[in-house]
Amino acid sequence: MKNTNIKLRNMVIYQIYVRNFSTSGKFDAVIKDLDRIKSLGVDMIYLLPVHPIGEKNKKGSLGCPYSIQDYRRIASELGTMEDFKRLIEATHQKKMKIMMDIVYNHTSWDSVLLKEHPEYFFRDKAGNISGKVLDWSDVTDFDYSSGKELWDELSDILVGYAKMGVDGFRCDVASLVPIDFWKYARQQVSKVNRKVIWLSESIHGSFCKEMRDKGFECASEPEIYQAFDMAYDYDIQSHYENYLLAKAPLKYFLEGIVRQEEIYPANYVKMKNLENHDCVRIAHYVNLNIDKIHNWTALNFFQKGAAMIYAGQEYCATIKPSLFEKELYDINGDITDLIKKLTQLKKNSIFAKGVFHFYIPEIDGVAYNTVEDEHKKYHGIFNVGDTKGELKVQIEDGNYRNYLNGKIVKVRNNTITLSNDPIILRLKK
């Protein structure tokens, strides 16, 4: 959006899958953990969908939280509506915001809206109610061309949660929902709270093309910013994954970050994350190599955009909890201290207003970028590939202290010897 505040680039988000966040799987367990979450430097907690899950055609024994039966109710296994309100209030008391996951592309097959308003739903060529993505067999899609009644119903739901105190909406597969609807919904919510933050789960480019090839409307990443404040990093997700799977060099990922600066609005905000409920954990990708975890984590925070932590990431979790079963994340370490250092740095205004530059090192497996304003310049060097060798840097010869661990970094002939440590250096101009 044209009026998006670039200070959102300083934001740290903590993603919680309530059912699989604790043994009890209830809101109360999240409330009890808010002090620890706050201590990480978190500004906003983001909850996966908290509504009742559909029974018809459900997947797994418990069903998927993205197959929603009733948007106006809370899933009883998580708690009551009053419990949810207590979580909102407790989060605000800790000076954090709370974001809900909104699923407006589809509902469950036994949703309240499907029962009461079948005219709201998409039909295939044979006239049968259907979904556009057949693999998503537990859901069926809305038809936004059905009329203004659907738009008003869905917008009214968001207005209700905004009145309740919800500070943001993360919108699932937002690219498949018409941009004009999101603009309309945002206008309605703004009447209650103009400061609500809108995060788009925009989709992979290849998926967007596939949907368009089938004749369906699908918004590109640049189009998303007409209605949203922030968008996922899925435009470069495949490059990130391909490097970790040894299918491509790191430079493709780095070039993708550079390209974002060229194609998005001047005030664009990306939501940078290494993992989420749909993606493989970074600790799994790197086989619990703690040095690589440190470097990837530091690189993620040292970019232009908000940073997100998926619950368990701070404990080097390798398990991505199932969307369809009860499954807790595992604990294999603790990078809390590193995250606290990074979140403290992230709050610096330079990470919202500064000029970023990404270099593409000749040596693969290393990311090197800078951010600067008129007073200072930070250099970030992240050896995500555990690479050996020398790296050319844009730094005068001398000895410098690494912000992250206090160690001295020596620059000789504008070159440093790579180590296993992520490096952040602060230089005055």
Tokens standing for residue 344? 């403290």
Domain parsing of the chain, residue ranges: 6-353, 367-428
Q: What is the percent of the chain where pLDDT is above 70?
A: 100
111: left (phi over 0), alpha (psi -120 to 50) or beta: beta
pLDDT value at position 162? 98
Pairing of strands 230-232, 269-273: parallel
Mean of the pLDDT values across residues 96-108?
98
CA angle, residues 44, 181, 68, in degrees to nearest 5: 60
- At 409-419, the pLDDT tens digits run 999 999 999 99
Instruction: Give the pLDDT band of residue 294 (cuts 50, 70, 90).
Output: very high
Instruction: Give the pLDDT band of residue 203 (cuts 50, 70, 90).
Output: confident
pLDDT value at position 417? 96
pLDDT value at position 202? 84
Cα four-point dihedral sign 182, 188, 189, 193: positive
Q: Report helix, strand or coil for 81.
A: helix
Give the helix/strand (H/E) hosting 239: helix 237-244
Q: Is the pTM of this model over 0.85?
A: yes
pLDDT value at position 134? 85
Domain 367-428 has CATH 2.60.40.1180: yes
Instruction: Give the pLDDT band of residue 391 (cuts 50, 70, 90).
Output: very high
Residue 141 phi/psi, 5-degree rounding, is -95, 155
Mean of the pLDDT values across residues 326-346?
98
> Does pLDDT of 278 surpass 90?
yes
Mean of the pLDDT values across residues 284-297?
98
> Does pLDDT of 166 surpass 90?
yes
Domain 6-353 has CATH 3.20.20.80: yes
113, HSE (Cβ side, Cα atoms, 13 Å): 29
pLDDT value at position 1? 81
Mean of the pLDDT values across residues 350-375?
96
The dihedral formed by the CA atoms of 283, 289, 291 and 293, expressed in degrees to the nearest 10: -10
As a whole number, the mean pLDDT across the chain is: 96
